[in-house]
Amino acid sequence: MIPNNMIWADDNPEMALTKPVRVGNSLTVGGQDVILMTGPCSVESYDQTRTVAQEVARLGGRVLRGGAYKPRTSPYSFQGLGREGLEILRAVADEFDLLVVTEALGVEQLPLVAEYTDIIQIGSRNMQHYPLLWAAGEFDKPVLLKRGFMSTVDEWLKAAEHISSRGNDRIVLCERGIRSFETATRNTLDTNAIALIKQTSPYPILADPSHATGRADLVFAAARAAVAAGADGLLVEFHNNPAEALSDADQALPLAALARFRDEVGKVAQAVGRGIR
Ligand code: PEP
Ligand code: MN
């Protein structure tokens, strides 16, 4: 149980413990601005990824998301392009001066993923994959640690310590929804956890409203709620043609919605005294 050391959060601004994490040379997560990390669930092709990256950059985004190694529930689903996907991500990100966040599924992939990415993503299914956490702790790259969908906040923070115990404390947490009794949505966004992390952990916290809801029509609302709760950023899936997406088609927002998304999230960020990037 995490101790309740709060009297009243709004009267105790010093209780915001967040230590900003540097990403690349020009960005920090956990500072004044809410950082949007947007892009497709999977890197599917050069043209698809470039189209998305171009729009992300045009609107002032700084970080492109996209999976090259995909942790799919079914072994018969698209598993990602692997190394080719990493090459595509890096090429288009460099063209548009973006930073990259992408997932490493296993220890053996880490060196390659770390070479191509600016943030190493450890996925929900791997949150307690200790050898992967230890190995990520040896790199000089920030790590995005997603919450296991069956994991408590305590287990999640302990997982982060497995990374930091190896020397790398550039850790960013990501609340991506947990499994509950509710089946109307893919997962349940735990906004409590976002507020709790802000008050009890030094690590910046992102939210992933795409995996948390599993429905494109709920992503805006979940994103606004997460930012209102204190999230330092959002990881969100956008696709140039959601109906044809090779993974997570139901939750992908169309690229055409990105401008409005930034606008709406920006209004909530402003209401809580922050900007967006
Ligand atoms: C992802 O963000 O690409 C992903 C697979 O998410 P999660 O690990 O949260 O399921
Ligand atoms: Mn996805």
**What spatial distance separates the first Cα and last Cα of the chain, rounded to whole Å?**
34
Q: Distance (Å, rounded) from C-alpha 187 to C-alpha 146?
A: 14
**pLDDT of 99 over the 70 cut:** yes
Burial class (CB in 10 A: 0-12, 13-18, 19+), 176: buried
User: Residue 13: pLDDT above 80?
Assistant: no
- Percent pLDDT > 70 in the chain is 95
**Is position 108 within any domain?**
yes
Q: CATH number for the domain including 111?
A: 3.20.20.70
pLDDT band at 3 (very low <50, low <70, confident <90, very high): low
Which residues does a 6 A CB cutoff place in the pocket of ligand 1?
41, 67, 71, 103, 123-124, 146, 176, 208, 211
| Entry pTM | 0.95
Mean pLDDT of the chain: 95
Instruction: Find residue 254's DSSP bridge partners.
Output: 239
Domain residues for the domain of 63 are 19-276
For residue 35, the cross-strand partners are 233
* Half-sphere exposure (Cβ direction) of 20: Cα atoms closer than 13 Å: 13
- Structurally, the chain folds into a number of domains equal to 1
Q: How far does the centroid of ligand 2 lie from the alpha carbon of residue 237, in Å?
A: 7
Which region, left, alpha or beta, applies to residue 39 given φ > 0 means left and ψ of -120 to 50 means alpha? left
In a domain, 112, yes or no: yes
In a domain, residue 114? The reply is yes
Give pLDDT, residue 185.
Answer: 98
Atom of ligand 1 nearest to the CA of 71: 5
How would residue 12 be classed by pLDDT, with cut points 50, 70 and 90? low
What's the mean pLDDT in 172-176? 98
Q: Which residues contact 274 (CB under 8 A, 6 or more apart)?
A: 32, 33, 34, 227
Instruction: Specify the pLDDT at position 172.
Output: 98
Substitution candidate for ligand 1 out of 79, 176, 239, 247 with most atoms within 8 A of CB:
176
Please state, in angstroms and rounded to a whole number, the distance separating the CA atoms of residues 17 and 9: 12
> What number is the average pLDDT over the span 87-93?
98
Tell me whether residue 4 is in a domain: no
Spatial CA neighbour of 139 closest among 161, 94, 171: 171
**pLDDT one-digit tens code per residue, 113-145:** 999 999 999 999 999 999 999 999 999 999 999
Q: Which ligand is nearest to the CA of 253?
A: 2
Residue whose CA lies nearest to ligand 1 atom number 4: 123
Mean pLDDT of 90-117: 98
Residue 2 lies in a domain: no
Mean pLDDT on 147-175: 98
Helix-then-strand count for the chain, H and E: 9, 12
Closest ligand to residue 206's CA: 1
pLDDT at 10: 56
Return the structure tokens found at 151: 């994991």
Q: Is residue 90 situated within a structural domain?
A: yes
For the CA of 174, the closest atom of ligand 1 is 9
Give me the pLDDT at residue 16, please.
74
> For residue range 35-88, what is the model confidence (pLDDT) as tens digits?
999 999 999 999 999 999 999 999 999 999 999 999 999 999 999 999 999 999
Whether 198 and 227 have beta carbons less than 8 Å apart is answered as no
The answer to whether 154 and 2 are in contact (CB under 8 A) is yes
Tokens of 67: 């999976």
Of 175, 172, 173, the closest CA to residue 226 belongs to: 175
* Helix 258-271, helix 216-229: angle, nearest 10: 20
